[in-house]
Amino acid sequence: MRIFVLGILILLNFILESTVFQYIKILGIKPDFTIMLITSYAIMRGSIYGGFVGLLSGFLSDLFYSISFGVNSLSYMLTGYIIGQFQENIFKDSFIPPIIFNVIGVFVFQHLFYFVSYISKTNISYLHALLNIMIPQSILNGILGIFVYKYIFKLEERNFMKKKIF
């Protein structure tokens, strides 16, 4: 059941990111709910889950919106995998890990995205990306990530998440 719910969450997040969340900006900054979802699963379930959620989320994004296919998939997957490496050393009931790892998640994703874009000859100014995207978005994601993490944490504790589909 967990995989089914996870698939629904990824699809719902993609639909909301593509529609409603495009218009939600706080001080001109668009939060990255995909990073929040990936980070939450990486913290709770580890690097394999984090990488898997990142790969699927990035694949959907690449499939519909990317000029260079695979940039989002690779960046999100590696972000989830890297953050998931710290899963065993995290106190999961605290609100501090989502703050820290959402900030780290945005920086990791944006640097990977920038690096892969640079390799694929996409012209993006690093300084502009750092000052106008990475730093503000990481702060915003750190704050909003607490709420997303708490929701997913409570969802993961539900009894139906432990049931097998077949």
pLDDT in tens, 68-103: 788 889 999 999 999 999 988 888 788 888 899 999
Residue 24 lies in a domain: no
Residue 22 lies in a domain: no
For residue 143, the domain's CATH number is 1.10.1760
Residue 111 lies in a domain: yes
CA-closest candidate to residue 36, choices 23, 48, 53, 55: 53
Residue 55 lies in a domain: yes
Total structural domains within the chain: 1
pLDDT in tens, 135-163: 999 999 999 999 999 999 888 887 776 76
Range(s) of the domain holding residue 49:
2-13+32-162
Residue 23 lies in a domain: no
> Which residues lie closer than 8 Å to 99 by C-beta, 6 or more apart?
142, 143, 145, 146
Residue 100 lies in a domain: yes
